[in-house]
Amino acid sequence: MTLFQRYAFRQALWPFLGAIAALGGLAALTQSLSNLDLIADQRETALRLVWITLLALPQIIALLIPIAVFIACAMALNRLNGDSELIVGAAAGMSRRQRLTPFLRLAAYAVLINLVINLFVQPASFRQLREQVFEIRTDIAASLMRPGEFVSMGDGVSFYTREIGLDQVLHGVFIEDRRGASPTAYAARRAIIARSDRGPVMLLEDGVLTQLDESGTLASLTFDRYEFELGAFIDTSSAFFFKESDRYLPELLNPTAADRARARVAEDLAAEGHYRLSSPLYSLAFALIAAAAFLSVEHRRTGYMRFILIAGAGALLLRLVGFAVQAGASNNPDLNIAQYAVPLLGAAAALWLIARPTRKTGAARRQAEAAA
């Protein structure tokens, strides 16, 4: 790159990094607020909340990268134009392609970063996120027990524990089970929650089982260890499996029979795979659309705000069309090719606007008409 091109690239790089940081921070704040129920309902630590929020960020950042590219290119071009540096570059003999090269280089780097996130970082982070959320949702001790309170499960069963230790050991446990013909009460000195082949169970230790026998007499039975099944209190919808967003590209484009059976629609897998490959192209399209707002029109001392707004609206419309095509590809696999066509057509249209002959100014047009 020439000295001017390196300078223009730096002018776009720092706004790009700043936009990613600002938009990513806002997204992280929004994501953390949506996960506050993990602290309120599941009694998770703030550190766990931060970790879950960070695991959700790669997908959000991948969506924000094209927007950051548009903002960076628009800011850099506006600054270069305001200081008349674009005019100086043109007067020095630089073609439009040469003036456009730094912004295309930034877009190319953004495409590569976006592709790495889509193909490797997002699946890895989302798998870890899915495991963390599943572990939290199925944490019986955190979701069912409240120290010093009776917790009713709405199915004739009430739990009570005096204290929950740091190692998730329950101390002073009482269970009232009114299911069945004869109510039963369990009192145990301590209990732990474990997983068995039948599902999660509460292992009661050093306790007493009390119930009414067939004759209506109160009977008590002491035990050293008793298993109380908790499978009825687990939400079956929280079963652990990887969704389309958690899978790597080979699993999406070449799924097994089990993957097809688990997917909501078999075409969802292919649609997600082609989206991972095509979405980085929006960075290239958005960079060209931002450049078209400046390089496809005559130099204006009054500024380019109107053209920037038009370019922004065009970029937003292009992205919405891309989302619509992705949704349609879930039902019609033939639309997968359109996921690539939408950003490429947007880039081609912007490139055509940049490369077309410069229109004559109003004064030059009037002089030509008078001469004719």
Is residue 304 over pLDDT 60?
A: yes
CA atoms within 13 A on the CB side of 33: 6
pLDDT of residue 299: 72
pLDDT of residue 138: 58
- The three-class DSSP label of residue 138 is coil
Res. 182 pLDDT band, cuts 50 70 90: confident
> Pick the residue with more confidence: 357 or 103?
103
Res. 111 pLDDT band, cuts 50 70 90: very high
- Alpha-carbon distance of 64 to 24, in angstroms, equals 8
Handedness of CA 350, 108, 6, 313 (dihedral sign): positive
pLDDT of residue 1: 73
Name the pairing type of β-strands 199-212 and 150-152: unpaired
**Mean pLDDT value across residues 21-47:** 74
Is residue 233 over pLDDT 90?
A: no
pTM of the model: 0.76
List of residues 6+ apart from 30 with CB closer than 8 A: none
Res. 308 pLDDT band, cuts 50 70 90: very high
pLDDT of residue 112: 97
Under DSSP, the state recorded for 235 is -
Under DSSP, the state recorded for 270 is H
- Closest residue by Cα to residue 292 from 211, 215, 359, 349: 349
pLDDT of residue 240: 57
Give the number of other Cβ atoms within 10 Å of residue 307's Cβ.
Answer: 17
Is residue 74 over pLDDT 90?
A: yes
Six-digit token pair at 79? 């600054």
Domain limits of the chain? 3-137+243-371, 144-233
Is residue 130 over pLDDT 70?
A: yes
**Mean pLDDT value across residues 70-92:** 90
Is residue 43 over pLDDT 80?
A: no
